[in-house]
Structure 1
């Protein structure tokens, strides 16, 4: 079991050595049941549906038909034989109070043409779970629909009209001046659906996978596309709420270039910003390292949300809510365990929901990736027709069923804090009492340039950082040749990670005899290789810059990283590509790690269940120690209670279990003592009646 090997791991000097807890007296949790702390955000119990054509995205582009699991069943949400919502899916989604369903699902929106999904089902035999079926599922479950406008299904200039026609189909009255609404009426739904929430694209900062033709929006092109979409959609229905795609919620003083442009240019014109949040990154971590990363993640999210609000106010000139339309732990590998299904994924859910419910964080909506089916799904259909539940399910079930919508003031006095040193990249060190933002360590002037590896990719190179030239002499295969190495700079402390940012200008000129094409990019990678570390990043679209254009990308690495390589990326080749790719004014900048304050071990939320009952949720973030505490309630005197406890010593557990229920026997004044197990969630139901 995990506890048997934690002590030896905690002694590792470079990883988890800082396990010091600033012990104090028994912490006291005080709840004021006579006052309100506001309403919890109402649409944070959302989920995603994958229900579109996977060809060219997650499946081979040359398949004759789309996968029936998506377009006929919505990965288990729809019964295409009875043509009704799947009863088991409805039961699961109701059980966890699903407040929003996002459709058609992540990257599948890239290839989504809604017109293929409507009309009599016999006219679309290969697409039985379409727009009407999705909206019927939302109605039955009681979930608000959120629909993603496609960003790559048609040529860019046609996409705003495609979006506006969809809104007309959904929301306009069935009158002759609205032909799409007339089509809806002919399809059996004369009354408008009244869909309110839409987002313009999904992760549009990356490309359209293997779809043809290959395309990738620059941020300037995305802003232009979004503006035209907003204008045309609001001409149809001014009441809809529209969101635009953000890139990352960082801890820096300024957002990255994509976010800075989107916040400034689109912030004044939209209703919310979209972010996806996959953190902490657990791939390749040991169970002990993964646990330490997870119990730090709640504080890190709180700080990221606060920084997002500040950045948006400064750049957009107004407050804007965020819709986190995808979130989960970051873990796609199955070794050492499938972290996305594990106990730690559930503990992370508890931290995330606690932050998302807080009114000050201005969360419009949030959708977990994902409840049913797919690679991440909490619920999977077994071969015998039953369903299995992952280690994340009990946390969702406990939080959604046993907390209330009205929050109550609650504080913890004497809350012990724990320092934790980042073991790997993706973790953040928690130390001291103040937030330390990533600090600039200067420009990197010493690095190696070499061009030998380019030959195997059909390229040659020459030049220096002021002007690099890459001649593509018939590139016809996908390749990632390296041409630059930055060894670990002396300016980085021995026990710290660092970030390297590359800024440059680029342009590409096809040769006169060229008949091929490829996606060209610049990448950064851990010197030890991608297979060893899974640490790499890239910026693409260099082949689209006929004139000099600015590009930037950055990579964060851990304390054990010996250096970073730069590479040329040749992807999605068709035929043989001839031409000249030029980079100029390459600037490599170095930044130190961020550091957050030592983590308070007890994270709490109180809410009202009804006139006589309140709920208290307590997360003990200590990775290896129980924390004894005391609970006191003002404004109500609890006479009895039930504690429901989620704790597994083995954090790799990937199957669901039932919480342990324990009786609470308050003293005459309503207070009681409790011992909270390490890395656990405990939810109390306290009753003023016997």
Structure 2
């Protein structure tokens, strides 16, 4: 089922309507763009149903020049105009509005405005979901490698819950129940050593667990796209730099998902003994998992930020000052990105820090993004560890902002820096912050997660079913047993995706493969047993005889 992304920032509503005409209209004289399609060798309409309006539009126009970033209202204006033009050509199409790229943290400034305004014409809402989120090699190398590898498996249940929370917030903001389209998902490892873990078996198994959850219609997610299929940064098949095509672990996982997710869902769930995830500090956005029940986090009351540590800054286009707890940055025609230091903050080694403040901006910031950067206490280099708190440019009145930085071992506190991301025109005005607080978060934890996740499907009219079982325990195999009611299994076969290690990538040699797995039929076919290997996805095809 194709989904087409309509280019934001560069595509006009008229052009969006022409795109739909090219794809879906009959090739007749009153549809000149459809005639172009016929000239290009496809006389019949493609019949594309799903359209994504923009891509991470809250990030700005990416590599286009001049740089600019829409406000939520500007995006909503463009969305509504495009959808009207597109549905005038083909009323059957479905158009999706973008939520913020901050998942799982909800950006009310963007999402509230976009969903409220686009709800009358939006058919679904769009979200991008990335697990783990380690954005530099130095970050990954500074953490215990065992837990860095396990993090994707430990995050599957949390992502299911985050996605349902996101859907509920979408419903509240839009005033109606909008399905979600997850048009990008993967595990976000931006690193190469000791291994490029975005290609790893662990990342592939996270994607398998995510898809198994989305297969349940109750997820409210009719569309989900693995990012990305071929080459690029995350591609599951690669021929760039190789003499022949490399099929990475995610490709093998999707082969089994394709075999197993057919027909009607008849069962899904979790089972088996519990697995703990016990890193000594948070791994990206992956939470600690232990015990029988979750424990809530606690934010310590003490404010680590000391106003006396304020660092004044002066240059021709940016001057900072402080007075009575209000910190100001006067911008005078800024045309480049600026990160002047606001203050260093001392704190415990490797702590999770919560940063909050009220901010406002009065002036002209066409396409610019303004706020604070929260960085590793040792600076941006070499760890590239930090978080951006943006959106103050959209707040002419005082508004609350917050963000969190899981600091690395060796970072005893953080650096607070002004954040000015230049836009299409020079930035003129006054950026103000008050109520600035940096507090240590005593992390809570999720309960230990069940080792096994499963989905069973049956194709109508056939006396067989497919069962997919994901073993999220990297250290132990687990025996899976079914008792068959109302008949007996006459034959069964199982295939398994597994490797030697969680960080296997298939880049050097193909260690993650699809291999057959023994299936035991007992009690005349009324009991089925399969031993599921550690860190693996297994697909079992069952064929039975009715009594």
TM-score when normalising by structure 1: 0.68
SS in 1 for 2:488: coil
How far residue 244 of structure 1 moved from its aligned partner, in angstroms, is: 0.7
Q: Distance in 1 between matches of 2:232 and 2:305?
A: 46
2:15 aligns with 162
Structure having greater relative contact order (Cα 8 Å, sep ≥ 6):
1
Q: Distance in 2 between matches of 1:500 and 1:281?
A: 19
Whether 2:468 is the aligned partner of 1:617: answer yes
How far residue 397 of structure 1 moved from its aligned partner, in angstroms, is: 1.4
How far residue 589 of structure 1 moved from its aligned partner, in angstroms, is: 7.1
How far residue 361 of structure 1 moved from its aligned partner, in angstroms, is: 0.4
Q: Distance in 2 between matches of 1:295 and 1:534?
A: 24
- What is the CA RMSD across the aligned residues, in angstroms? 3.6
Question: Which residue, 499, 513, 516 being the options, matches 1:658?
Answer: 513
* Aligned partners of 1:612 and 1:688 also within 8 Å: yes
Q: Per the alignment, do residues 606 and 578 of structure 1 end up closer, same or farther by CA in structure 2, a change over 3 Å counting?
A: closer
Q: How does 1:26-425 map to 2 (within 5 A)?
A: 144-153=1-10, 159-174=12-27, 178-181=31-34, 183-184=36-37, 189=42, 191-247=44-100, 256-282=108-134, 284=140, 285-382=143-240, 386-409=244-267, 415-422=272-279, 423-424=281-282, 425=284
Question: Which residue, 345, 360, 369 being the options, matches 1:505?
Answer: 360
* Aligned partners of 2:199 and 2:236 also within 8 Å: yes
List gaps (5 residues or longer) in structure 1.
Answer: 1-143, 511-515
Q: Per the alignment, do residues 208 and 465 of structure 1 end up closer, same or farther by CA in structure 2, a change over 3 Å counting?
A: farther
* Aligned partners of 2:109 and 2:391 also within 8 Å: no
Offset from partner CA, 1:89-136 (integer Å, 9 cap, x none): xxxxxxxxxxxxxxxxxxxxxxxxxxxxxxxxxxxxxxxxxxxxxxxx
* Aligned partners of 1:469 and 1:580 also within 8 Å: no
How far residue 548 of structure 1 moved from its aligned partner, in angstroms, is: 5.2
1:668 aligns with 523
Q: Per the alignment, do residues 595 and 249 of structure 1 end up closer, same or farther by CA in structure 2, a change over 3 Å counting?
A: farther
* Aligned partners of 1:150 and 1:201 also within 8 Å: yes
Offset from partner CA, 1:627-651 (integer Å, 9 cap, x none): 3343323344223322222332321
Matched residue count:
530
Q: Distance in 2 between matches of 1:208 and 1:464?
A: 36
Offset from partner CA, 1:163-208 (integer Å, 9 cap, x none): 1222233333455655544554565655433221111100011012
Q: Per the alignment, do residues 359 and 594 of structure 1 end up closer, same or farther by CA in structure 2, a change over 3 Å counting?
A: farther
Q: Per the alignment, do residues 519 and 608 of structure 1 end up closer, same or farther by CA in structure 2, a change over 3 Å counting?
A: closer
Q: Distance in 1 between matches of 2:381 and 2:286?
A: 20
Offset from partner CA, 1:614-639 (integer Å, 9 cap, x none): 22222222232333343323344223
Question: Which residue, 554, 567, 581 being the options, matches 2:430?
Answer: 581
Q: How does 1:419-434 map to 2 (within 5 A)?
A: 419-422=276-279, 423-424=281-282, 425-434=284-293
List gaps (5 residues or longer) in structure 2.
Answer: none
Q: Distance in 2 between matches of 1:384 and 1:416?
A: 41
* Aligned partners of 1:519 and 1:573 also within 8 Å: yes
* Aligned partners of 2:56 and 2:101 also within 8 Å: no
Question: Which residue, 525, 541, 546 being the options, matches 1:685?
Answer: 541
